[in-house]
Amino acid sequence: MSETKPCRVVVLISGGGTNLQALIDAQQAGQLPVEIAAVISNRPDVKGLQRATSAGIPADVLDHTAFASREDFDRALTTLIDSHSPDLLVLAGFMRILTAEFTGHYLGRMLNIHPSLLPKYQGLHTHQRAIDAGDSCHGVTVHFVTAELDGGPAVVQAKVGIKAGDTAETLAQRVQQQEHIIYPLAVNWFANGSLHMQDGKSILNGELLPPSGHLIDCTG
């Protein structure tokens, strides 16, 4: 992206929007060279919409329950997103399974954050599943989105230790602290042209990233 024209980002949310807030905060602090062109939620009345409005960002609701099929919703969502001409689409707690048509349309320009060390624990209840499995560490992954659910190439992972007595809530809290660091980092890499996807792999500064993506180890 050129310095005069910052990377245009559309953020999709379904809920509280703490990751959205981390992006807004980084952008407002001058640490993230993006323009957040719009925030779109598939659920009305969520806190993330208030966060957008408070930051002066256009906030839209496209309620999935008003659509007869997943395909119809994803097509309407595509039209709405593209009306904002994004360079990058950021899924920040957007809790929808996406059609292949949708993922294909944004291939290489859509990031997601998932609260596990992918490929472990795709889907829901990741914190509890990591505790139940007796894992010693857990974490969070930012990845490019492909047609495979939570399956696209990883960009960055933060690894967090699981402590004796951790509950899903206490563990989620520590993982979320890392989410709020690694998502602005990954978006920054994309926005400044350091990061892209090529042949289904993540490339950072011209180097192929390992399957974990860039790894930040916070277990120490």
> How many Å apart are CA 93 and CA 59, to the nearest integer?
15
Residues 24-83 that bind ligand GAR (CB under 6 A): 48
DSSP code of residue 99: P
Please say if 114 is a catalytic residue.
yes
| Cross-strand partners of 7 | 34
Instruction: Determine the Cα–Cα distance for residues 105 and 89; give it in Å rounded to an integer.
Output: 11
By the rule CB under 6 A, 170 interacts with ligand GAR: no
What is the x/- site pattern for ligand GAR, positions 116-155, by CB under 6 A? ----------------------------------------
Note whether 114 binds ligand GAR by CB under 6 A: yes
Question: What is the nearest approach in angstroms of ligand GAR to the Cβ of residue 47?
Answer: 8
In 3D space, the residue among 192, 191, 196, 190 whose CA is nearest the CA of residue 208 turns out to be 196
Per the listing, tokens 């472990």 go with 120
Alpha-carbon distances of 151 from 24, 38, 118, 141, 148, rounded to whole Å? 26, 26, 8, 11, 5
Minimum CB–partner distance for residue 15 and ligand GAR (Å):
4
Residue 47 or 105: the one with the smaller Cβ distance to ligand GAR is: 47
Judged by beta carbon, residue 1 or residue 70, the one nearer ligand GAR is: 70
* Comparison of 124 and 164: residue with beta carbon closer to ligand GAR: 124
Tell how strand 137-144 and strand 154-161 pair up: antiparallel
Shortest Å, Cβ 43 to ligand GAR: 11
Of 27, 139, 174, 179, which lies in the binding site for ligand GAR, with binding defined by CB under 6 A? 179
How far apart CA 203 and CA 208 sit, in angstroms, is 5
Tell me the residue number closest to ligand GAR, measured at CB: 93
Catalytic residue from among 64, 105, 114, 138: 114
Q: What is the dihedral angle through the alpha carbons of 47, 156, 216, 119, rounded to the nearest 10 degrees?
A: 90
> 């989105």: which residue's tokens?
145
User: Amino acid identity, residue 190?
Assistant: F
Site membership for ligand GAR, residue 166 (CB under 6 A): no
Residues involved in catalysis = 114
Binding residues vs ligand GAR (CB under 6 A): 13, 15-19, 48, 92-93, 113-115, 176, 179
